[in-house]
Amino acid sequence: MQVPAPFEYERATSVEHAIALRTQLGEEARFIAGGHSLLPMMKLRLANPEYLIDINDLDELFYITRADDEIRIGAMTRHRELLDSDLLAEHFPIFRDAEKVIADPVVRNRGTLGGSLCQADPSEDLSAVCTTLDASCVIKSTDGERIVSMQDFHVGPYETAVGDTEMLTEIRIPLKAGGGSAYEKVERRAGDWAVVSSGVAVWMSNGTIDDGRVGLAAVGPNTTSIGPVAEALRGAAPSEEFYEQVGEIAAANCSPQTDQRGTAAYKTHLAKELTRRSLRRAVARAQGQEA
C-alpha cells in the first residue's frame, strides 16, 4: 500500500512548544492534527514534510465555548465534537447540518476543524460554514497572535494565510441576535466531497433580514462568500420569490467546472437550488420556526 516518505516526528506538549518547534524546524515541518487530510497527501508523496509536529496532545485546543459575543472553537476540536455540540447547534445549527454530511463517522472521530480549514480544499464543507458565519481565525506565532477573517485566511486552493512559523489555534464566530443558519449539500454518495454545497446565515429582526451571508463549496477556486448575495439579503423581507432570486444571484456569481462530480451546468443549478433551500431554512430558524 501507499506509504509516506521518511520524516522526523515530534510531539508537541503545548501551543508554545508547537510553535517553537515549527519556528525551529522551518518550512519543512508540518503540524499533524487528525491526519486525515495530510497523511493521504503524504502517502501519494504530494506532501513530503521532513518533520511532523503532532499536536494531538494539546488539550488546550479542544474546546467549544461561549465568550460574551462570540463562540470560540479550539483548532483541534474534532468533527464529532462539532456535530455533538449542543452549544453550537443552538447558535449555529449550520454546523450540525454540515457535520452530518462531512466524510463519515469514523473519519469524524479524528478529523479536526483546524485541519479542515488549513487543508483549504475548495470542496471542503467547514470552510464554507466558517465563511458563511463570518468567522475569524486566530493565528499564533512567537510574535504573538493575529486575527484573520475567513476571506483572508484562504489565499488560494490548498493555500492559507498561516505562515511557516505560525499556527492556527482558534476559530471565533460572532454571536448576533436573531440569527439563523443552515447548510445543504449534494453528494454522489455518503462520504463523498460535495458536488456543491451551500451554507446560509441570516440575522433578522421584525421579520426583516438585517444581514446575511452565503458560503458555497465546490463552485470555484475557493470557498466563496458571494458579495452580491449579502447585498441582496440586507434589509430584505423573506418570501419564496425572494429565495428564488437569491439562489439565482448565487448561481450567477460562481464559476464551477465540469468534473466527475458533475457538469458545470448542474453545479450552477445546484448553487441556486441549495442556496434557496438553505436560505429558506435559515430564515425559518431565525424566526424560531424550525429546530
Partner 1 sequence: MQVTMTINGQEVSEEIEPRLLLVHFIRDQLGLTGTHWGCDTSNCGTCVVLIDGEPVKSCTQLAAMASGHDITTVEGLEVDGELDPVQEGFMQCHGLQCGFCTPGMMLTARALLNADPDPSEEVIREAISGQICRCTGYSTIVRSIQWAADHETDVSVGSAS
Partner 2 sequence: MTTTEPAPDTTEEERPIGFGRLLRKEDPRLIRGMGNFVDDISLDGMLHLAILRSPVAHARIVSIDTSAAEAHPKVVAVITGEDLAAQGLAWMPTLSNDTQAVLATDKVRFQHQEVAFVVAEDRYSARDALELIDVEYDWLDPVVDVRTALDADVPVIRDDLDGKTDNHIFDWETGDEAATNAVFDSADVVVSEEIIYPRVHPAPMETCGCVADVERVSGQLTLWCTSQAPHAHRTVYALVAGLPEHKIRVIAPDIGGGFGNKVPIYPGYVCAIVASLVIGKPVKWMEDRTENLVSTGFARDYVMNADIAATKEGKILAVRTNVLADHGAFNGVAAPTKYPAGFFGVFTGSYDLEAAYAKMTAVYTNKAPGGVAYACSFRITEAVYLVERIVDCLAHELDMDPAELRLKNFIKPDQFPYETKTGWVYDSGDYEPAMRKAMEMAGYDELRREQAEKRERGELMGIGVSFFTEAVGAGPRKDMDILGLGMADGCELRIHPTGKAVVRLSVKTQGQGHETTFAQIVAEEIGIPPEDIEVVHGDTDNTPFGLGTYGSRSTPVSGAAAALVTRKVRDKAQIIASGMLEVSVADLQWDKGAFSVKGDPTKSVTIQDIAMRAHGAGDLPDGLEGGLEAQICYNPENLTYPFGAYICVVDIDPDTAVVKVRRFIAVDDCGTQINPMIIEGQVHGGLADGVGMAMMEMIAFDEDGNCLGGSLMDYLIPTALETPDWETGHTVTPSPHHPIGAKGIGESATVGSPPAVVNAIVDALKPYGIRHADMPLTPSRVWEAMQGNHTPPI
For partner 2, the closer CB: 88 or 254: 254
Q: Is 215 exposed, middle or buried (0-12, 13-18, 19+ CB in 10 A)?
A: buried
User: Binding pattern to partner 2, positions 24-53, x when CB under 8 A?
Assistant: ---------------------x--------
- DSSP classification of residue 103: S
Whether the Cβ atoms of residue 181 and residue 285 lie closer than 8 Å to each other: yes
Going by C-alpha positions, the residue among 149, 200, 137, 212 that lies closest to residue 176 is: 212
Residue 52 grid coordinates: 511532523
Q: Does 260 bind partner 1 (CB under 8 A)?
A: no
253: partner contacted, choices partner 1, partner 2, none (Cβ within 5-8 A by kind) = none
How many residues bind partner 1, per CB under 8 A? 30
Report 272-291 residues binding partner 2 (CB under 8 A).
273-274
Q: Does 194 bind partner 1 (CB under 8 A)?
A: no
206: partner contacted, choices partner 1, partner 2, none (Cβ within 5-8 A by kind) = none
Q: Does 106 bind partner 2 (CB under 8 A)?
A: no
Count helices and strands (H / E) in the chain.
12, 14
Could you tell me which stretch among 156-164, 206-214, 257-265, 281-289 binds partner 2 (CB under 8 A)?
A: 257-265
- Smallest distance from the beta carbon of 176 to partner 2, in angstroms? 30
Among 33, 88, 186, 236, binds partner 2 (CB under 8 A): 186
Strand partners of residue 175: none
Q: Does 35 bind partner 1 (CB under 8 A)?
A: yes
Residue 159 grid coordinates: 493555500
Q: Does 39 bind partner 1 (CB under 8 A)?
A: yes
Q: Is 221 exposed, middle or buried (0-12, 13-18, 19+ CB in 10 A)?
A: exposed
Among 20, 47, 89, 107, binds partner 1 (CB under 8 A): 107
For partner 1, the closer CB: 4 or 178: 4
Q: Does 36 bind partner 1 (CB under 8 A)?
A: yes
Q: Is 142 exposed, middle or buried (0-12, 13-18, 19+ CB in 10 A)?
A: exposed
167: partner contacted, choices partner 2, partner 1, none (Cβ within 5-8 A by kind) = none
- Classify strands 154-156 and 208-217 as parallel, antiparallel or unpaired: unpaired
Going by C-alpha positions, the residue among 58, 92, 89 that lies closest to residue 76 is: 58
Q: Does 265 bind partner 2 (CB under 8 A)?
A: yes
Cβ atoms within 10 A of the Cβ of 189, count? Answer: 5
> What residue ranges bind partner 1 (CB under 8 A)?
1-9, 11, 32, 35-36, 39-40, 43-44, 52, 54, 56, 80, 103-107, 109-110, 190-191
